[in-house]
């Protein structure tokens, strides 16, 4: 039996042009504006929305966050302090 290849989840993604280190609120406003503009000017749209990826990092060293973060001394000290018994 041969391999079946399908193209699914067809979509158009638009990334706003925002410069610098803008805030989440600025990105949200830019994306909402694009969605509204597309709805106003383009026919044949069943639905339109915007999505984002989530990146979780250590607040101390910037490493990718893991379940048990032992990436740097500050993270280790914070975990040790949280796990220390209350006296």
HEC string of the chain equals CCCCCCCCCCCCCCCCCCCCCCCHHHHHHHHHHHHHHHHHHCCCCCCCCCCCCCCCECCCCCCECCCCCCCCHHHHHHHHHHHCCCC
Is residue 15 one of the residues assigned to a domain? no
Is residue 9 one of the residues assigned to a domain? no
> Please, how many CA atoms are within 13 Å of residue 32, restricted to the half-sphere of its CB?
6
> What is the span of the domain harbouring residue 28?
24-83
Q: How many domains does the chain have?
A: 1
Is residue 17 one of the residues assigned to a domain? no
Instruction: Measure the CA–CA gap between 31 and 52, rounded to whole angstroms.
Output: 10
Is residue 11 one of the residues assigned to a domain? no
Model-level pTM greater than 0.85? no
| Residue stretches of the chain with pLDDT short of 70 | 1-3, 20, 67-69, 87
């Amino acid at each position: 039996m041969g391999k079946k290849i399908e193209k699914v989840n067809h979509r158009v993604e638009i990334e706003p042009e925002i410069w610098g280190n803008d805030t989440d609120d600025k990105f949200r406003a830019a994306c909402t504006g694009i969605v509204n503009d597309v709805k106003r000017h383009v026919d044949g749209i069943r639905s339109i929305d915007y999505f984002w990826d989530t990146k979780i990092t250590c607040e101390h060293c910037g490493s990718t966050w893991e379940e048990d973060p032992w990436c740097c001394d500050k993270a280790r000290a914070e975990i040790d302090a949280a796990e220390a018994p209350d006296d």
